[in-house]
Amino acid sequence: MPGVLTAAVPLAGSGTGQARPAYYLTDPIGGYAIGGHDPVAYFVDRRARLGDRRFEHQWRGVKWLFVNEGNRAAFERSPEVYVPQYTGCGAYALAEGYATAGNPAIFAILDGRLYFFHSVVNRFLFIIELESTTTQADANALKTGCSPRL
């Protein structure tokens, strides 16, 4: 299935005094974050769009693709605004206590933040109990190798 995230790439170093490093799930073939999808396009176009290798940017050791130069420039200015929460892990699965790769095609923008889900059912369940599922996902994030929300 195109766009499914299956590998993990370290985001941060593991120096003394730092929390366990967070991971961004990447596609195993190209090594691009979020399966090569443009993180800015979710906000601008309100849909998942594959990026173009001509508009690549490396952030925290991970390659990100964009559909155009404007999206790349927006990401370069404020990457934390556009990256998926929980490093791309499925938000509802995380609330249930396990890490699964979120599907870039199944997403929601909630309170100005991008979330991925394993299925449309998971997305629905996460949203209808947003406060409690977010609290649980936050609590489970570091335990499962996903990063907390930004």
Q: How confident is the model at residue 28 (pLDDT cuts 50, 70, 90)?
A: confident
Per-residue pLDDT tens digits for 101-140: 899 999 999 999 999 999 999 999 999 999 999 999 999 9
Centre a 10 Å sphere on the Cβ of residue 112 and count the other Cβ atoms it contains: 7
- Taking Cα atoms as reference points, which of 75, 37, 68 lies closest to residue 54? 68
Per-residue pLDDT tens digits for 78-97: 999 999 999 899 999 999 99
Q: Indicate whether 19 pLDDT > 60.
A: no
Please provide residue 99's backbone torsions phi and psi, each rounded to the nearest 5 degrees.
-95, 130
Q: How confident is the model at residue 5 (pLDDT cuts 50, 70, 90)?
A: very low
Domain range summary for the chain, segments of one domain joined by +: 7-144
What pLDDT shows up at residue 24?
62
Per the model's pLDDT, the better-predicted residue between 145 and 15 turns out to be 145
What pLDDT shows up at residue 150?
67
